[in-house]
Amino acid sequence: MKAQKEHGVSLFQEAINLLKSIQEYTPPQNFIFPAPRNGQMLSDRSLTTLIKRMHEQKFKDTGLGYIDPKQNRVITTHEFRSTFRDWSTDKTDYPR
């Protein structure tokens, strides 16, 4: 869902093959990444919580953490997606 509207996303054949190969491991709702406690859809806070926990662990281990150098704060989910988009543009030939 995006803005409360269902939308489709085009996938490369490799992604489709991967999804088909793990189909037996997904719950009946066919979530690729189900919530671990109930097998339902992950909450919208899941990625934010993951980033926070990763930051806390990395900071504890190395003193660095996952800091946005421009904002000098822990990265957000938007920045996470944006970083991936930048990386994929720089390192692959796939269109945006």
The position carrying tokens 């990625």 is 47
pLDDT tens profile 22-76:
766 655 666 777 787 887 888 878 888 888 888 888 878 777 777 777 777 777 7
For residue 2 the two structure tokens come to: 């995006």
Q: Tell me the torsion sign for CA atoms 36, 85, 17, 5.
A: positive
The CA distance from 10 to 46, in Å, is 24
The position carrying tokens 């490799």 is 14
The CA distance from 2 to 10, in Å, is 15
pLDDT tens profile 62-82:
777 777 777 777 777 777 677
Q: Is the pTM above the cut of 0.85? A: no
Radius of gyration of the chain (CA): 16
